[in-house]
Amino acid sequence: METKIDALIAKMETSRARLNTALDKIAPQTEIYPTWKLKQLLDHITGWDELMSTSLRAYSKGETPGLVVKDGIDRYNAQSVTARKAMTLGQSRQAYDDARGDVIQIMREMPPEILTQKFPAPWGGMCTIASVVKIFVSHELEHAKHIEEILT
C-alpha cells in the first residue's frame, strides 16, 4: 500500500528524473543562466536539497531548522554555489545525487503524522512537508524546462 510519503517521494523522483534527462543532454560549458553552467546549477540544487534535509531532520525531532535562508533567496543561491566552487564537476554531480538521496531517506523515516503539521519554513513563513515538496518539484521542473528550451 502506497503511503502519502511514498506519493510525495514519487513526485520528487519524477521531477528529478526529468531534470536529470535535461542535464545529461547539456554540455558542461553551456551557459544555462548568466554566470551559471552545469556545475553551478548542480551546486544550486544541492544547496536546496541540503537545506531540505536539515529542515526535515529538525521537523522530525519537533525542532525549528537551524539552517535558514538569510538575506533572501538570491543571496542563499550565491552562497550555495560559492561554497562548492572548489569542487570538480564530478564531485558536484556526486554531491547533487547524494543530497537528494539524503532527502529521500529522511522522508522515508518520518512518522506519517508529521505530514499535516505546520512548521517554520527555512525561507520564512509556515509550511507543511507536502508544501515543501510541491515547491521543490516545481523548482526542478522549472529548471528542466529552461534547459529543454536551451536545447531546442
Top-level class of domain 4-151: mainly alpha
C-alpha cell at 146: 529552461
* Beta-strand runs (E) in 3-151: 119-120, 126-127
Task: Output the pLDDT for position 68.
Answer: 74
CB atoms within 10 A of CB 109: 11
Are 107 and 8 spatial neighbours (Cβ–Cβ below 8 Å)? yes
Place of cell 556526486: 94
Are 131 and 76 spatial neighbours (Cβ–Cβ below 8 Å)? no
pTM summary value: 0.92
* Beta-strand runs (E) in the chain: 119-120, 126-127
pLDDT in tens, the chain (152 residues): 567 899 999 999 999 999 999 999 999 999 999 999 999 999 999 999 999 999 999 888 888 877 678 778 888 899 999 999 999 999 999 999 999 999 999 999 988 888 888 988 888 888 899 999 999 999 999 999 999 999 98
CA-based nearest residue to 150, from 14, 13, 36: 36
HSE, CB side, 13 Å, CA atoms: give it for residue 148: 10
Task: Output the pLDDT for position 40.
Answer: 97
